[in-house]
Amino acid sequence: MRPAPLCDVCRKTLDAHAECVEIDGRPTSYALRYEPPISNLIIAFKDRGEWSLRAVLARLLTRSISDLLLNVDDGRRIATTPVLLVPIASTSSSIRIRDADPISDLAVSAARIMGRSGFDVRASRVLMMRSGHRDHVGLSRSEREANMRNAFAVDGRHRADGVVVLVDDVVTSGASLAAAQRALSMAGYRVVGAAVIARSGHKQQTGDRGWPTNKQTGRRGDTLGV
């Protein structure tokens, strides 16, 4: 499917460097704030089946993944380190309604983009959502955390020889990412952080810590050649 055309304003807005912050002790990289136009594009892709937006969103996710890996590890070693992208699991009901799993689809696309640049990256649906999970819309931070407690199961058929990067479309409180990391760590996976397309919520949230800037490290805004 041919990528959807974007207006000049949208293209300029989406052409931004990723930023890495620490949320509850977990490095989390995001490409943009969750506001128009990116919020409109994500909703159109996930809820309205605008699959022509896949390429745009996958490229933004790849940018976040690249930025995360540069910040949590020595970027020179990434080219030889196997990376497993693990999408945050969707509920079975949302997959049925959409007749698709958009986050897994974006993870696979991002892995292909990085693979074409010579990196050992693959994506796999290692996480499974347990029954009884509620949708996060309208829930407070504490309610989100309680809702996500023990929300994920791990498919033991998949193993990672290198590092794991959690991927999702949007991060708000970080409750889903924290629960996913906990489940994977208990199963023996080495989770180095999370990469998302956009970040929602206030500019500075409790538990957040800004990552070193490009001026300090010489790497902010760089990519791994993707």
Q: What is the pLDDT of residues 54-71, one digit of tens each?
A: 999 999 999 999 999 988
Query: Is there a domain that residue 221 lies in?
Result: no
Domain count along the chain: 1
CB-based contacts of 10-18 (< 8 A; 24+ apart in sequence) = 10/37, 10/41, 13/37, 13/38, 14/38, 14/56, 14/60, 17/63, 17/67, 17/220, 17/221, 18/63, 18/64, 18/66, 18/67, 18/68, 18/221
Range of the domain at 25: 16-203
Residue 111 resides in a domain: yes
Res 59: pLDDT: 94
Within a domain: residue 7?
no
pLDDT digits (tens, 9 = 90+) for 94-106: 656 666 789 999 9
What CATH number is given to the structural domain containing 69?
3.40.50
Please report, for residues 112, 123, 225, the alpha-carbon distance to residue 118 in angstroms, rounded to integers and kept in the order given: 10, 15, 9
pTM over 0.85: no
Nearest C-alpha neighbor of 101 from the set 127, 83, 121, 119: 127
The CA distance from 47 to 159, in Å, is 31
For residue 61, tell me if it sits in a domain. Answer: yes
| Residue 214 lies inside a defined structural domain of this protein | no
Take residue 40 and report the two structure tokens written for it.
Answer: 């409109």
Find the mean pLDDT for residues 106-130. 93
- What is the maximum alpha-carbon separation in the chain? 46
Q: Which of 23-37, 60-74, 108-122, 179-193 has the lowest mean pLDDT?
A: 60-74
pLDDT digits over 188-209, tens only? Answer: 999 999 999 999 975 554 445 5
Give the end-to-end CA distance of the chain in Å, rounded to a whole number. Answer: 21
Flag whether 210 is in a domain.
no
- Is residue 50 included in any domain, yes or no? yes
Residue 139 counted as domain residue: yes
